Amino acid sequence: MSFKDVRDSIAAALANPGIWEVHTYPVPTPMPKSIIITPAADWVSPLTTGRKSVELRFSLKLTANTADNQADLITLEDMIEDVIGLLPSWLLFEGVSAPSELQVGTAYLTTCDMTVRVAATL
């Protein structure tokens, strides 16, 4: 299974058309209510010596508008709950970062990063 196959499988599991967009790569201009799948720290770790069994770690960046801090936090909380509910059993959930602001042009998005990991054979 390739890295792209893993990202595509995660995206398919998290697909929620009409509610949010899922991107399998860093997008130049993130939009509100999207999930962006990118490599996380310790992206690739060996599972066994001398084999192609690895653990892959990904960050799921969740985004919301910044028009209203209270509403944005609720949007992120709802997205986190929904994403956790959609995670397949083969994908292990590690945690979620505190919310932060991301500048996109002259606008800002409220975001958080959810870290997940999966075992794969390359």
Q: What is the mean pLDDT of residues 12-41?
A: 95
Q: Give me the CATH number covering residue 106.
A: 3.30.70.1700
Q: Residue 111: what pLDDT?
A: 93
The rounded mean pLDDT for the chain is 92
Is the pLDDT assigned to residue 50 strictly greater than 70? no
- CA 60 – CA 121 distance, rounded (Å): 21
Q: Can you tell me the mean pLDDT for 64-89? A: 89
Token pair in block for residue 87: 């995670």
Q: What are phi and psi of 88, to 5 degrees?
A: -70, 160
pTM: 0.91
Distance, in Å, from the CA atom of 99 to the CA atom of 113, rounded to the nearest integer, reads: 8
Query: Hey, what are 27's tokens?
Result: 């997008």
- The per-residue pLDDT for range 97-114, each reduced to its tens digit, is 999 988 888 888 899 999
Q: What sign does the CA torsion over 107, 95, 48, 42 have? A: positive
Q: Is 80 exceeded by the pLDDT of residue 68?
A: no
- Work out the angle between the directed axes of helices 69-86 and 3-14 (0-180°, nearest 10): 110
Torsion of CA 48, 89, 31, 4, to 10 degrees: 40
Q: How many domains does the chain have?
A: 1
Mean pLDDT to the nearest integer, 73-83 = 94
Residue 49 reports pLDDT greater than 80: no
Residue 96 Cα distances to 41, 79, 84, angstroms:
14, 12, 11
Structural domain harbouring 105: 3-121
